């Protein structure tokens, strides 16, 4: 479904008085509600990267090719040059138990760290020795749609297109709640039914 298709469906249920910007806000809120419920398969991504000598920061680093800017969580991280599966570790454990030893080996551990409202970044310890290839299997950060007037605007929604209606139903629930309309309860049930259909398709297919 395009964003215009989603707007049109919302209008069929009486929300033609809502501005497109308001509908988009509700659609994005519904989308985030859905994708943050479970670690969906459609949020998973695998990338093969090359990391130069001396590097510790893997994400948001222009020296790493290709650059990774959408990391949400790590599912697996493998050094394919040396056939090493890196072990996840807490940042404080790396600081207290490993860095003091000044290890001079290939990286065997990775950790995530961030500050304030910044997204978490992926680091390895110790630093990479020589140009090294890695395979990173991870979930991406969901991004809301922006209405630029193109049919591809809804492609930002990572939910498969055949299930885009669940986003619309979630937005309708919110729209009815905004208007303090008792139909919100009925549409919540419809949303949950569509959600379960998508869940069955995603996990049981």
pLDDT digits (tens, 9 = 90+) for 97-112: 777 666 667 898 999 9
- Whole-structure pTM value: 0.85
pLDDT tens across 112-136, in order? 987 555 578 999 999 999 999 999 9
Average the pLDDT over 34-45 and give the result: 94
The secondary structure element, H or E, covering residue 189 is helix 183-204
Per the prediction, the chain carries an average pLDDT of 92
Percent of the chain exceeding pLDDT 90 equals 80
CA distances 178 to 22, 23, 184, 189, Å, are: 11, 12, 9, 17
Instruction: Look at residues 177, 59, 64 and name the one whose alpha carbon lies nearest to residue 122.
Output: 59
Structure tokens at 40: 């969906």
Q: What is the pLDDT of residue 98?
A: 75
For the chain, how are helix, strand and coil distributed in percent, rounded to 5?
40, 20, 40
Give residue for tokens 């890695």: 134
């Amino acid at each position: 479904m395009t964003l215009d298709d989603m707007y049109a469906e919302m209008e069929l249920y009486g929300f033609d008085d809502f501005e497109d910007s308001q509908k988009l806000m509700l659609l994005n809120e519904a989308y985030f509600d859905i994708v943050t419920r479970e670690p969906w398969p459609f949020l998973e991504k695998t990338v093969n990267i090359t990391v130069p000598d001396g590097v510790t920061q893997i994400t948001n680093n222009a020296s790493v090719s290709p650059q990774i800017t959408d990391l949400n969580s790590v599912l697996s991280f493998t050094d394919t040059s040396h056939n090493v599966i890196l072990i996840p570790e807490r940042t404080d454990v790396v600081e207290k138990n490993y860095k003091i030893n000044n290890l001079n080996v290939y990286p065997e551990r990775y950790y995530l760290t961030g500050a304030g409202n910044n997204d978490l970044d992926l680091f390895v310890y110790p630093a990479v020795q020589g140009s090294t290839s890695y395979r990173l299997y991870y979930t991406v950060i969901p991004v809301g749609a922006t209405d630029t007037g193109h049919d591809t605007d809804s492609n930002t929604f990572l939910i498969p297109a055949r299930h885009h209606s669940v986003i619309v139903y979630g937005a309708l629930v919110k729209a009815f709640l905004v208007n303090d309309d008792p139909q919100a309860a009925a549409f919540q049930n419809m949303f949950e039914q569509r959600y379960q259909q998508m869940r069955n398709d995603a996990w049981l297919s």
